[in-house]
């Protein structure tokens, strides 16, 4: 991060207040990271702080400190790498292996146990279970405590182990790929993980590049090759890379060892779009120096698309660009789990308080401390261990339902722990290319100023082209037979005469066919390394594919081919076009000015070989070209029209140069290129001297087709109260175009484009300008975002969150992840990231819920995601139906399981208080285990099939989803209602049993337990909103099981250990008094709740019931 000079802060900043605390403003930029945290740290740290979570913070910081000492990060340094001599390296560089595993052999068990026991719930069960080894505290059998705990841990361990083994296999496959390495003795095969800095590696076509390399030579004649970078930056187009001139010129591959040369490379960095280095050859008399830039590099994880390449490795393993840009997956924990964890803490407090009350009423007599602990264990059913078992099984069930849903085929759930998160999302961060769009360009419109051609009138253009080339060839041969332009004299005779439409179309199409960076590629049919004579290659149209760094350019060249002017060949300094009559026109490329995001335009100067005419062609964004072309009255208006249709526009212009003009330009240009200071500025100034009064030829419109149903899906998500942010690596204009055409920004909305800012003062002014705007979408570029976050993080996030939509363009993969984390910290809302390329992985892993699309850009994103889908439109159903259901079901299930535990604890409390506060269990071990499993488990678990509205309704009224984000299905309020219900029912059941059965006191257990089971079954029926046949089966099955056990397990129905000698006889159960008394107790415990529910539904129905009625 460069140090900014103090002039960045002009005094006028203070006159314009930006909502910000004083302390923040005085901060130097060196500690900008501490800004939001600085405010938090001023709180008092007392005993309260320590008890409420300070201990966690302290333990955490101690562990971090230890970890830091154990693995001090090595400082990354610039390096000098000798070709083919790894042993000459001064430093030890990291091993070139890929490692995505979370644990190793030794850390697996402790790691998984830590992840489990950092939850209060599990830790609590562990303590209770361990206490049963102490004889004086033992209550009931050991298996009643250890079996459920063991089951939960075993399931988790197995799940983690399977994931870990899969990761290990994937890594092993990548690390054991074989590559050819050049040595003095010839080629040897090496594994990817054994490659070192300084090795010379040969990579064949369609092979992955194993480490970051400098490109030394290639089998292609022109000294350049294409690589595919989709796993690095998410763009599907091919990038052209150029070999180092000095090594490409060597006669044979073996000569690489006969020269002494080295590469100086800068220290490893995050930025994948820049590189600075030098190549030096020492054994020649004046040493040869070549400067190296990004076009001489081959980054790891990219794939060679043409030819065979040889490179020298400069960065390996952890220092490669692709690894530096990936973030490590964190263990994701759902919000619902955190909320339940908070509730269990509240329950634990209640349990301790209850135990203390019991001991206090006893009067703290005898070993009261031991009694206190016995009471805590007795009441441990308040927090049921089956809560974790039920929720985990529930999560698996939701995952299974999602994968089985026929409306969203191909959906895969990769993280089974967070399906409820899908129901709580507030921010959706989406990638653009390949996620919202198909990344397929279609040429839609050509506008010549007076006339416009659309898709239906392209045949007219074709006939014009055929006509104009026919005229040229039929002219008497006066030296311009091959040429497409009539000879120079007619042209210079003054521009007064308006050109015919025919010649204007001809000029425009020719300009589009020449002004680009596209290379035609032919699949060679010759096997073997060397391609024999050119004639062997098949130059037919079917065998030709075009490659370029932008899909727009490819589409433009494909379009010129469709209207008759075909690009057939291109190398570094010549171009060949084929006319409709099959004639070949050759052009010599004199200069190329590539497209940059600053200039927003590209130019090319060509000399036509048949006539010798020199023409400067240029195309670019309307913003950049408007000031360059001659005055006209239509350009701005037409560009606006096309942009509103969501087309990407390019303005094409040309200028004819005389030989003298060109020579003068070339001299100045070459001089500027050699200057050391401000080279970029000087070169730009020379080029700008040419860019004046150019003749405007045409305006083109290309459409990037959206994925199926993107518009309705975005509309649905917006109505559901989800704010959508688009994060893309693409250009600002394109991103804005797509935002409009996909209706991410609605037609009526204003768009505020955040001006590029580079320092604090500019950011301040621009943020103030943005604050004055209301209800408008924000478009900001990655660099400006970086500056704003450096100085005004809090303010910027606050403003951006008020926007209906935000578009961030030119974002690096790490920036995408940074934006996700920002939203999580500042808004405390749940975020979801969706993407399809390798560049979206860090964003997907950082979000609370990551969704990957299996797209053209490979499977990397869908493998790293928690959920993977096949099309963007499926996200609507995934969230509105499955997310909503999962959350509501889990909330109901969690609270019901807690209610089940609280009822029995209330009964235990009543029982103990009647029996002189003895710490004696009411029900025996087997009854307790049976209660939590066989008797009530199925009906309670069948709540995962419950739904409040039909899926069609949920999709029709996305507003239903809005309610969920407030988290009302599971809150302290709903929880307290359940507590009251439990206390009421537990009290009624126990007192009822004691009051009605004074004579046969022994039967209390049988009666209260039977009434309890019936109450639970009725309560499940009360909670269910939509019946499913399985629910009915579950209810009757459980009842059947209970009745069967009454008959066969009667020795358990005594009180305490069989101390009262009570054995149950079947004759008692079948008597009328037993039946009517049980029914009466059950009725009193349940009927009021049914009445209350009915009244509530009648007088204040929930939103969903209005729809379902």
538 classed as catalytic: no
Opening angle at CA 1053, ends 1049 and 1055, nearest 5 = 150
At 1049, list the tokens.
Answer: 């397990």
Instruction: Give helix 1004-1023 / helix 1029-1048 axis angle, nearest 10°.
Output: 180
Report d(CA 1109, CA 901) in Å as an integer: 34
Would you say 413 and 405 are in contact if contact means Cβ atoms under 8 Å apart? no
CA distance 883 to 867: 12
Give the containing element (helix H, strand E) for 303. Answer: strand 303-304
What is the C-alpha separation between 422 and 1009, in angstroms, rounded? 39
Q: Can you list the positions of beta strands (E) in 399-532?
A: 412-413, 425-430, 437-447, 452-453, 519-522
Among residues 89, 61, 93, which one has the least CA distance to residue 74?
93
Phi, psi angles (nearest 5°) of residue 665: -60, -45
- Structure token pair of residue 288: 């040869």
R_g over Cα of the chain: 37
Question: In terms of Cα–Cα distance, which of 1085, 1089, 1086 is closest to 989?
Answer: 1085
Q: Which H or E run contains 547?
A: strand 544-547
CB 277, CB 214: distance < 8 Å: yes
Query: Which residues on adjacent β-strands are paired with residue 653?
Result: 618, 696
Say what angle helices 386-404 and 335-362 make with each other, to 10 degrees. 160
995: helix, strand or coil = helix
The two tokens of residue 92 are 């030890």
Contact 850, 329 (CB under 8 A): no
Between CA 631 and CA 1005 the distance in angstroms is 98
Q: What are the residues whose beta carbons fall under 8 Å from the beta carbon of 291, sequence distance 6 or more?
A: 277, 278, 279
Q: Which of 376, 370, 378 is nearest to 355 (CA)?
A: 376
**C-alpha to C-alpha distances, 845 to 326, 415, 837, nearest whole angstrom:** 9, 11, 13
Burial (Cβ within 10 Å: 0-12, 13-18, ≥19) of residue 886: buried
Q: How far apart are CA 21 and CA 18, in angstroms?
A: 9
**Six token digits for residue 625:** 């070209």
Rounded to whole angstroms, the Cα distance separating 947 from 886 reads: 9
> Is the distance from CB of 1090 to CB of 1083 less than 8 angstroms?
no
H-run or E-run covering 727: strand 723-727
Residue 115 CB partners (closer than 8 Å, separation 6+): 331
806: which residues sit within 8 A by CB, 6+ positions away? 723, 725, 726, 777, 778, 779, 780, 800
**Per the residue annotation, which of 199, 431, 866, 946 is the catalytic one?**
431
Structure tokens, 567 = 């690009």
Residue 1107, classed as helix, strand or coil, is helix
DSSP secondary structure, 4-57, as one string:
PPGGGS-GGGGGS--S--HHHHH--GGGGGGHHHHHHTTS---HHHIIIIIHHH
Tracing tokens 């010379």 back to the chain, one arrives at 200
Strands (E), 125-165: none
Torsion of CA 24, 28, 29, 32, to 10 degrees: -40
Tokens of 1086: 């349940």
Which residues are catalytic, by number?
431
């Amino acid at each position: 991060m460069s140090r900014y000079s103090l002039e960045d802060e002009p005094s006028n900043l203070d006159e314009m207040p930006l909502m910000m605390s004083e302390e923040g403003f005085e901060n130097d930029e060196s500690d900008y990271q501490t800004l939001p945290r600085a405010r938090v740290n001023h709180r008092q740290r007392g005993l309260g702080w320590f008890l409420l979570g300070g201990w966690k913070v302290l333990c955490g910081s101690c562990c971090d400190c230890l970890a830091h000492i154990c693995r001090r990060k090595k400082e990354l340094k610039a390096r000098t790498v000798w070709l083919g001599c790894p042993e000459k390296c001064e430093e030890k560089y990291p091993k070139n292996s890929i490692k995505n595993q979370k644990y190793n052999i030794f850390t697996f068990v402790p790691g998984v146990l830590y992840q489990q026991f950092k939850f209060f719930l599990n830790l609590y069960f562990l303590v209770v279970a361990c206490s049963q080894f102490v004889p004086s505290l033992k209550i009931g059998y050991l298996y009643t405590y250890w079996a459920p705990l063991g089951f939960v841990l075993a399931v988790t361990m197995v799940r983690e182990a399977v994931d870990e083994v899969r990761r290990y296999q994937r890594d092993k496959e990548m690390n054991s790929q074989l590559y050819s390495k050049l040595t003095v003795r010839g080629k040897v095969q090496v594994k990817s993980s054994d490659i070192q800095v300084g090795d010379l590696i040969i990579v064949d076509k369609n092979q992955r590049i194993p480490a970051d390399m400098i490109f030394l030579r290639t089998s292609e004649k022109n000294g350049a090759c294409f690589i595919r970078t989709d796993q690095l930056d998410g763009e599907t187009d091919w990038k052209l890379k150029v070999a180092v001139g000095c090594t490409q010129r060597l006669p044979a591959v073996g000569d690489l060892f006969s020269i002494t040369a080295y590469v100086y490379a800068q220290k490893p960095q995050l930025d994948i779009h820049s590189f600075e280095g030098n190549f030096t050859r020492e054994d020649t008399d004046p040493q040869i120096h070549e400067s190296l830039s990004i076009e001489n590099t081959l980054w790891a994880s990219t794939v060679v698309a043409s030819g065979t390449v040889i490179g020298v490795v400069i960065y390996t393993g952890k220092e490669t660009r692709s690894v530096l840009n990936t973030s490590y997956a964190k263990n994701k924990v759902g919000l619902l789990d955190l909320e339940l964890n908070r509730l269990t803490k509240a329950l634990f407090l209640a349990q301790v308080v209850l135990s203390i009350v019991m001991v206090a009423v006893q009067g703290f007599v005898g070993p009261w401390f031991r009694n206190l602990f016995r009471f805590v264990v007795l009441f441990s059913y308040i927090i049921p261990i089956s809560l974790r078992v039920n929720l985990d099984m529930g999560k698996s069930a939701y995952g299974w339902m999602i994968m089985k849903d026929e409306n969203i085929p191909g959906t895969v759930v990769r993280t089974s722990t967070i399906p409820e998160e899908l129901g709580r999302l507030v921010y959706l961060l989406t990638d653009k290319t390949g996620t919202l769009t198909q990344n397929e360009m279609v040429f839609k419109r050509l506008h010549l100023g007076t006339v416009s051609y659309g898709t239906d009138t392209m045949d007219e253009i074709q006939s014009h082209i055929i006509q104009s080339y026919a005229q040229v060839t039929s002219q008497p041969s006066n030296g311009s037979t091959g040429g497409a332009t009539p000879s120079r004299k007619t042209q210079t005779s003054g521009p007064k005469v308006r050109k015919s439409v025919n010649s204007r179309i001809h000029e425009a199409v020719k300009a589009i066919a020449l002004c680009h960076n596209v290379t035609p590629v032919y699949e060679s049919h010759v096997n073997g390394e060397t391609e024999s004579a050119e004639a062997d290659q098949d130059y037919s149209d079917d065998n030709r594919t075009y490659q370029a760094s932008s899909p727009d350019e490819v589409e433009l060249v494909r379009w010129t081919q469709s209207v008759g002017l075909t690009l057939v060949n291109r190398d570094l300094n010549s171009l060949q076009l084929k006319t409709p009559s099959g004639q070949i026109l050759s052009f010599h490329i004199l200069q190329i000015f590539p497209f940059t995001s600053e200039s927003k335009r590209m130019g090319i100067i060509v000399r036509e070989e048949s006539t010798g005419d020199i023409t400067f062609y240029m195309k670019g964004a309307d913003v950049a070209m408007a000031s360059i072309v001659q005055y006209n009255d239509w350009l701005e208006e037409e560009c606006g029209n096309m942009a509103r249709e969501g087309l990407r526009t390019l303005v094409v212009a040309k200028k004819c140069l005389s030989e003298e003009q060109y020579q003068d330009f070339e001299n100045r240009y070459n001089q500027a290129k050699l200057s050391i200071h401000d080279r970029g500025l000087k070169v730009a100034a020379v080029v700008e001297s040419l860019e004046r009064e150019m003749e405007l030829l045409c305006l083109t419109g290309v459409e990037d087709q959206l994925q199926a149903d993107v518009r309705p899906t975005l509309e649905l998500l917006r109505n559901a109260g989800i704010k959508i942010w688009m994060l893309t690596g693409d250009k600002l204009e394109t991103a804005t175009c797509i935002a409009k055409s996909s209706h991410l920004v609605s037609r009526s909305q204003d768009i505020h484009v955040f001006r590029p800012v580079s320092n604090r003062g500019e950011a301040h002014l621009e943020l103030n300008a943005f604050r004055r705007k209301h209800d408008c979408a924000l478009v900001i570029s990655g660099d400006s975002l970086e500056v704003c976050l450096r100085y005004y993080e809090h303010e910027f996030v606050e403003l951006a969150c008020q926007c209906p939509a935000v578009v961030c363009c030119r974002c690096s993969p790490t920036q995408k992840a940074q934006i996700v984390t920002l939203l999580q910290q500042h808004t405390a809302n749940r975020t979801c990231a969706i993407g399809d390329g390798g560049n979206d992985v860090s964003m997907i892993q950082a979000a609370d819920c990551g969704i990957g699309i299996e797209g053209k850009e490979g499977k990397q994103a869908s493998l790293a995601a928690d959920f993977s889908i096949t099309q963007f439109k499926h996200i609507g159903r995934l969230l509105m139906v499955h997310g909503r259901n999962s959350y509501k079901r889990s909330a109901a299930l969690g609270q019901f399981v807690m209610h089940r535990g609280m009822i029995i604890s209330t009964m235990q409390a009543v029982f103990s208080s009647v029996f002189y506060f003895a710490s004696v269990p009411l029900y025996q071990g087997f009854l307790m285990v049976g209660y939590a499993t066989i008797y009530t488990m199925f009906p309670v678990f069948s709540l995962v099939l419950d739904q409040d509205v039909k899926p069609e309704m949920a999709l029709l009224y996305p507003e239903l989803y809005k309610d969920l984000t407030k988290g009302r299905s599971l809150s302290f309020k709903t929880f307290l209602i359940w507590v009251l219900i439990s206390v009421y029912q537990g009290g009624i059941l126990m007192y009822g049993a004691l009051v009605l059965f004074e004579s046969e006191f022994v039967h209390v257990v049988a009666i209260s337990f039977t009434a309890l089971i019936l109450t639970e079954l009725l309560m499940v029926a009360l909670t269910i909103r939509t019946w499913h046949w399985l629910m009915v089966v579950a209810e009757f099955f459980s009842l059947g099981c209970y009745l069967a056990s009454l008959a066969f397990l009667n020795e358990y129905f005594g009180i305490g250990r069989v101390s009262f000698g009570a054995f149950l006889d079947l004759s008692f159960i079948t008597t009328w008094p037993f039946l009517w008394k049980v029914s009466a107790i059950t009725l009193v415990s349940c009927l009021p709740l049914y009445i209350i529910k009915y009244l509530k539904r009648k007088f204040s129905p929930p939103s969903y019931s209005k729809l379902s009625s």
